[in-house]
Every structure is written in structure tokens, then in C-alpha cells.
Structure 1
Amino acid sequence: MAVSDPSDASQAAPEQRKPSWKLVGPGLVVAATGVGSGDLVATLVAGNLFGYTLLWATILGAIVKISLAEATGRWHLATGRTIFDGWSSLGRWTHVYFAPYIVIWGLIYGAAAMSASALPLAALFPVLPLWAWGMICGVSGLVFVWFNQYAVFEKVMTVFVGIMFVTVVGLAIYVVPNVGEAILGLRPIVPNAEDSLMTTLALIGGVGGTITMAAYGYWVNAKGWRDATWVRMMRWDNRIAYITTGLFVIATLVLGAELLYATSITLTQDDAGLMALADVLEDRFGRVLSVIFLIGFFSAAYSSILGVWHGVSLMFADFIGHVRGKVNRPVEEREQSWAFRGYLLWLTFPPMLLLLFDRPFQLVLIYGMLGAFFMPFLALTLLWLLNSKRVPQPWRNGWVSNVGLAVSGLLFVVLCVNELINQISSI
């Protein structure tokens, strides 16, 4: 297919490939990676505190993620360039932000992800301490990603998505959700309670939303979708994935609402909150249902390890390639690069020190302040890029995409400012 001038307004959109269920994959990968233990906690706590009142917020959150992931995938397919190519075209300031962010984020996330994956394993198999299970999870993720390319990686991630969905959604059905209350929860109402507005915004913006949103385009390319003829298929893939994710987080809200709302139990807003729910399930329904939940919990946490180890390492390899003047390398080449494997090692071994010695306060502070900027950075730069001549005319943003990205950007800016205030006040 001939390459046209991206600024040619008369350029016609190429013929689109027909969407197929058999080709769905990259969206499930990004959804499984983005929904980790922290997202389960946030949704569970919302159900614990407010019942079904914030059901509408979980649905809106899934729509926000559809908008962001679609924009990322469309950039990769319409331009034939990676998202980091796009950021680089906006100026070197993007490199200045991205370099310290991805290094610090990787260190803290590695420890958090290993710890979260270890919790259900330690509960199911209390033969090893928590830190040992965490190290096993990190090293096994490293070995798997090191020796397998995207095709195998996608199949394994799809299995984890299936386990997550069947266990958690199955439990939500088993506890018999209150349909009437759920319908009332579709009304966009913010609970009348302290900090309820920020809880609502965080639920909309936080579930399934991390740096891995930007990795979607790399996984789309790894699938073999590398030009604009795949845009329709990418959109289908993306919607299926986030509808699945939406049902999953709604099921978590149902568990919080049905098992914990209007009780004296108040969950902690960390991974221990999920263990508390496992205890409640065991007390009320027996050990079997508790074990089923722990399996779903582990699947959510460990799939995030695999996804981050692969996807963010690809982004880091792309970043290093730009620094060295080697751009637009095939995904397969990036997977074999020293930068990809070096970042895998960084995600795995230095964070183990944090598992043993706890997290230094100053590092957590810097991580929180940098991390608060990433989602507004992603939303607003996509808004900028996809309305520019860098993108062929047929694939530039329409008003729906512009509204979606603008609302997302504004939401994340508010959350960013709130996070900064919280971090500064904790000094």
C-alpha cells in the first residue's frame, strides 16, 4: 500500500479488515495488566462504604479506558509509529519526564506487584513467608517473559483473564446481588460523605489505568496489526476487553456491597483488604468459596506482573532506542534487546530489597508525585497528537474522541492535584 502524505485531507481511509472473535487478544492483555490488586481494593472499598451507589462510576471508568486505549492503538496503526515516537515529536521535554518516571515507577511497582501476588499464595500455601512467595512470583515472571515472545504471552494472559472473570463474577452471582439497588446505582449520584467526591473520581480514573494503558499499541503491533487496515479490529478488541473488565470490577463492587456494606467491617485500602474479604467469605460460606476468591485474587495480581514485565519493558526498550537513534524497530527485535532484558532485571531484583526492608518514605513520595502526572500526560498528549497533521486525516479525532480524551484529561488533572496535595501534606 502506497504511503500518502499525512497532511492530505482528501486521503481516503483504507479498506478495513473484518473483526473476528478469534483475533481478540491485545485488549485482554492490557485489561488484565491494568486491573491489579489495587483496583480490586478500590472497588471493594467503594462497595464496602457506599453499597451500589457508585456502580455508575465503575461503568464510566470502563468507558474512559476504552477511549484512552482506542486512541493509543489508533496512533500506532494510523501512523506506523509508536506512542514514544509521538511523544518525542512533541519535544525533548517528554524524555526528561519519562526517564526518571519509568525508573522510579519500576522499582516501586516491582515490589508492590510481587507483594500483592504473594498474599493469596501465602494464604493458600503457608509454607513460606510472604517475602519468599513475592520473590518466586517476580523471578517466575522474569523467566517467562525472557524466554517467550508475544504469541505465548497473550495465550497465558487470556487464561488468567478467564480465571479472574469466572471466579470473581461467579462469586458475585452466588451471593445474589440486589437488582433493585443495582439499578438505583446507575444514577450519577455522589455519596454525601467526607472525601466521597475524590473516592468517586478515583474509582472512575483509577481502575485499570496505569502506564500499561500506553503499552496497548505495542501489543497491537506485536499481534501483527501494523497498519490502518486493522483499526476496526483494534476497536473491536478494545471494546470486548474493557466490557470484560467492566463486568469484573462491577462484580467486585457487588461483593463489597453484599458482604460488607452496612456491617461493622471496614476494609483497609491496601492489599490486606482483599484478605479480609477472603476471611468474610470463609466465615459465611466456607473454605471453598474463600479459596475460589484467593485464586481470582492471585490471577489478577500475577497477570499484572506478567503484563508489566513484558509491556513496560517494551516501552523502556523503545525509549532507549530513541536515545540511541534507533527508532521504529520491530517488536521482536525489542524483545531481544539488552534494554528490554535490562528493564526486566530492574523490575525483578532491586525491588526485592524493598520486600525485605520496607519502602523508604522519600522514594514513595517521589514515586507518588511523578506517578500522579502520567495519566493526564497520556490523555492530553493523545489529544494533541491525534488532532495534528502527524496523523492521516481519516484517523484524526472526531468530536466523540475529543470529548472522551478531554474529559479523561480533566479528570486525571483533578486526581493529580489531589495526589500532590496528599503527598505534600504527608511531609
Structure 2
Amino acid sequence: MKKFFKNIGPGPLVAAAFIGPGTVTVCTLSGVQFGYALLWAMVLSIFATIVLQEMTARLGLVTQRGLSNVIRQEIKSPFLKFSAIILVISAIVIGNAAYEGGNISGGVLGLETLFGASTIPFGSFQLNGYSFLIGISAFILLYIGNYKVLERALVMLVILMSLAFLTTAALTKPNLSELFKGAFVPQFPSGSTLLIIALIGTTVVPYNLFLHASLVKEKWQDVKDLKHARADTFLAVILGGLVSMSIIVAATSIQIDTIRNAADLALGLEPLFGSFSKYFLAMGLFAAGITSAITAPLAAAYVAAGCFGWNSNLKSLKFRSVWILILVMGVVISSSGLKPIEIIKFAQVANGFLLPIITGFLLWAMNRAQLLGKHRNTILNNVFGGVIFVISLLLALTALNKVFDLNLL
């Protein structure tokens, strides 16, 4: 058992990153609006996440480099290299600032559900007290700059989050036949297109592909540890997927008509289970918010370090400057008065647009023999990866059609 826990590493951090307030919100909306009908999208997302994250874990362990570093060093054309770096920086680093606002706002919703609102006057600006608290907590854990401390803190928070949401789902006593039908029989109810894309976008997270490759080399340095990296990935992603599905299951029992934010999941379940469910959900929402509030700035810093060739040591000045910037912007956005649910929904749909591009980069890298040698993708890896790429591209085009009425399909 001790050896088992010793080899649990980046996987829970990846799970912590994708089970954020965005996941809670999107899964809640899915359950409220369509019941179990979209569970299949989560099953598909879990499979796709396992396939892609295994590739990034293998890339990070074999090359001892992150994905952004590989892109910078392996693309030989100056124009293509510059275009790729600009695309990655703008999409991941700048985009993560918006994510961070949603992450911190989600953690705030959990605390407000338990303790009520809290504001701190700051000149003419009203700073949300809980936003500041979560920001300071994330800052301390990141500033310590010790990977093992960060890993252990996030593993504990992921366990707390998992217990909270799985227990809440069990309380609803779900209809198992309907649940399995929803999970394994694809359905496309009217008006569900963008929500399906958001469910996939909130699970198969593009920035996780950069984060995972970078974290693997912090945990392991020997290719012999590939089996541990794979087991860690499979276990964490499956558990994370089950947690996401449990949120959908719990949300099917909500007895209120209008969902404004993820905290309504707790309020909506009170008529069935009393205040008991409120405490579980508030803890889960807080844990989801703070874990993602830590991993989003960390991912942005790794991406920037890889793109610009900086030292990716957690204590380096340039590395710290990126995550501090993202963290501060997140606190400001979460205190701005913007509706968290709108920030979160936008970020998840944007994820769906970005995914085929990052998947394309990853598949290209994973097939380079001079980079990975015998550990490059097999035919089966490429078949699965190619199917995921095509599905993500079709979903992105569908979303463009839906949002801008472009008639692309």
C-alpha cells in the first residue's frame, strides 16, 4: 500500500484540474436539463482523456520535456514555430486567466453556501473576502515551490471532493437502468449541442496536456517508471470521470426550475435531503475551486517556460511571475461582479474549439521516432488519437455553426 501511494503523482493533479467549478456547473446544467441523457458524453470524454493524457505522460517521461518545449524545439520552420508559440501562449496563458476567475468564483460559491457573503472594501472597489482567501491559499502552496507538498495537498483535496460528490449522488438513489442507458446509448436531445461540447471541453482540457507532460518529469526520471505513470493516469482520470458523472446524477433530482450557478445544486437538493446535502456539496465545490485555482496558474507557467525556453523550476523568478499574474487576474475577475456561470460556460465552449488544435500538435509529436524512439505511438494509439481528433474537430465546427450560424457542415 505504501508503494502504491508513493507512485501516485501527477494523475490526481490532472483530475484536480479538470474537476473545477466549470465541470460542476456544466454537469449540473446537464443533469437538470436532460437528466441521464448526456452521461454518454462523459464516458466518451473519460476515454478520450485517458488516451491523450497517457500520450503526454509518455512524452514527458521519455523526453524529460513538456509539450510546449517540444513544440518550440521540434518545429524547424521559423514561421510555423512562431505561429505555434503565439497560438499556444494566447490560448493557454491568456485563456487561463479567465479560467482562474471561474475557478476562484466556484470556490467562493462553496464558502458562501456555508457561511454567507463576505466583502472587503478596497478604495472604491469591493474585494470578495473569499476570493482573497482562496487566492492567498493558492499563492502559499505555489510559492513554497515544493512539488511533493503541492502534490500531497492536491491529492487530499481531490479525495475530499470525490467523497463529497459521490456521496451526494448516492443519496439521490438513481435509477440504474436509466443511468446505464444514458451512459452507453448516445442521445442528442434538442438544444443539447453546446452542452455536449462543454461536457467534453471541461473534461478533455487542453491545458492539462501541457501540465501533465511537465509534471511527469518532476515525479519520475526513468523510462522504467512508465508503468507507474500509466497506472497513475488511468486511476486518476477514471475516478475524476466518475466524480463528474456523479454530479450529473445528483443534478437530475434538483427540484428547482432555474439554475443560476453551481451552488443551486445544493439548494435544489434540500427538499429531498435537507441541509445535509448542502454541506457535502459546499465542501466539494470549495475543493473543486481551490484545486483548479492552483493547477491553472501552474499550467500557464509551464507553458510559458516551455515556449520561451525558461527554467521551469518552481522557484525560478520568471516561472513564478507567470503564475502570480494569472492568480492575481483570477482574484480580480472573481471580484468584478461578472456572473461566474457565464465566465465558466464561455471557457468550456472555448476549450472545445482549442482541443483539435492541441490534439493535432500532440499526435505530431508522438509520432516522431527521433524524439521518442521505440516509445512513439503505435498504430492503435494513432487510431484512437485520430478518432478523438476527428470527433473534436466535428464538435468544434458544430459549435461554430451553432454560435455564429456559419453553415460549415
Q: Which TM-score applies when normalising by structure 2?
A: 0.86
> Paired residue for 1:410, among 390, 402, 405?
390
Question: 2:131 is matched with which residue: 121, 134, 139?
Answer: 134
Q: Gaps (5+ residues) in structure 2?
A: 76-80, 120-126
Percent of pairs with identical residues: 24
Separation in 1 of the partners of 2:256 and 2:113? 24
Partners of 1:392 and 1:351 in 2: CA distance: 37
Q: Quote the RMSD (CA, aligned, Å).
A: 2.7
1:204–1:348 distance in 2 versus 1, CA, 3 Å: closer
Shift of 1:366: 11
**What is the aligned partner in structure 1 of residue 191 from structure 2?**
195
Describe the superposition over 1:201-237 as per-residue Cα deviations: whole angstroms up to 9, x where unpaired. Answer: 43234325241232001111111x1232221111111
The residue correspondences of 1:27-426 to structure 2 (distance < 5 A) are 27-88=11-72, 89-90=74-75, 91-126=81-116, 128-129=118-119, 131-191=128-188, 193-223=189-219, 225-257=220-252, 259-260=253-254, 265-268=257-260, 272=261, 274-320=262-308, 322=309, 329=311, 331=312, 334-358=313-337, 373-421=353-401, 424=404
- Alpha carbons of 1:86 and 1:340: their partners in 2 closer, same or farther (altered >3 Å)? same
Contact 1:114 1:135 in 2 (8 A): no
Specify whether residues 177 and 372 from structure 1 end up closer, same or farther in structure 2 by C-alpha distance, changes over 3 A only. closer
Q: Is the 8 A contact 1:141 1:309 kept in 2?
A: no
Contact 2:67 2:306 in 1 (8 A): no
Shift of 1:39: 0.9
* Contact kept in structure 2, 1:40 and 1:252, CA below 8 Å: yes
Q: Is the 8 A contact 1:55 1:186 kept in 2?
A: yes
Provide the C-alpha distance between the structure 2 equivalents of 1:346 and 1:419, rounded to a whole number of angstroms.
Answer: 31
On the 8 A contact 1:82/1:217 being kept in 2, the answer is yes
Distance 1:275 1:71, change over 3 A: same
CA distance in 2, matches of 1:149, 1:222: 10
State how far apart, in whole Å, the 2-side matches of 1:422 and 1:98 are. 25
TM-aligned CA deviation for residue 356 of structure 1: 4.2
Displacement, 1:406? 1.4
Residue 411 of structure 1, CA deviation: 2.5
Unaligned runs of 5+ in 1: 1-18
Distance between the aligned counterparts of 1:403 and 1:308, measured in 2?
Answer: 30
Note closer, same or farther for the CA distance 1:228–1:139 as it changes in structure 2 (3 Å cut): same
Question: Which amino acid in the other structure matches residue 199 of structure 1?
Answer: L
Query: What code does the residue aligned with 2:196 have?
Result: T
User: Which one-letter code corresponds to 1:309 in the other structure?
Assistant: P
- Structure 1 pair 180/110, CA: closer, same or farther in 2 (3 Å)? closer
Shift of residue 405, structure 1, vs aligned partner: 1.5
The 1:202/1:354 distance shift into structure 2, 3 A limit, reads closer
Query: How much has 1:299 moved relative to structure 2?
Result: 0.7
1:110-135 CA-partner distances (Å, limit 9, x unpaired)? 32222121111122122513822112
- In structure 2, how many angstroms separate the alpha carbons of the residues matched to 1:285 and 1:216? 38
Q: Which amino acid aligns with 2:192?
A: S
Per-residue CA deviation, residues 364-422 of structure 1 (Å, 9 max, x unaligned), is 89989975543222211111111122333321111221122212222322333344456
User: 2:111, 2:130 within 8 Å by CA — same for their partners in 1?
Assistant: yes
In structure 2, do the counterparts of structure 1 residues 52 and 354 end up closer, same or farther at CA, with 3 Å as the change threshold?
closer
Which is worse superposed, 400-409 or 289-298?
A: 400-409
CA contact (8 A) 1:309 1:347 kept: yes
Q: CA deviation at 1:96?
A: 2.0
Q: CA deviation at 1:152?
A: 0.4
The Cα offsets for residues 70-90 of structure 1, whole Å up to 9 and x where unpaired, read as 111111122233212221112
Size of the aligned set, in residue pairs, is 387
Q: Deviations over 1:41-89 (max 9, x none)?
A: 2222222222222222211211110111111111112223321222111
> For residues 280 and 357 of structure 1, do their structure 2 counterparts lie closer, same or farther at Cα, with a shift above 3 Å needed?
closer
SS of equivalent to 1:92: helix
SS in 1 for 2:369: coil
Checking the alignment, whether the CA contact within 8 Å between 1:46 and 1:253 is kept in structure 2 is: yes
8 Å CA contact retained: 1:33, 1:307: yes
Match of 2:380, as an amino acid?
V
Residue 211 of structure 1 contacts residue 374 of structure 1 at CA under 8 Å; is this kept in 2? no
> Is the contact between residue 301 and residue 320 of structure 2 (CA under 8 Å) also seen in structure 1?
yes
Task: Report the secondary structure of 1:194's partner residue.
Answer: coil
The 2-side partners of 1:399 and 1:175 are apart by: 43
TM-score (norm 1): 0.83
Q: Letter of the aligned partner of 1:211 in structure 2?
A: Y
Name the aligned partner's letter for residue 119 of structure 1.
L
C-alpha distance in 2 between matches for 1:389 and 1:419: 35
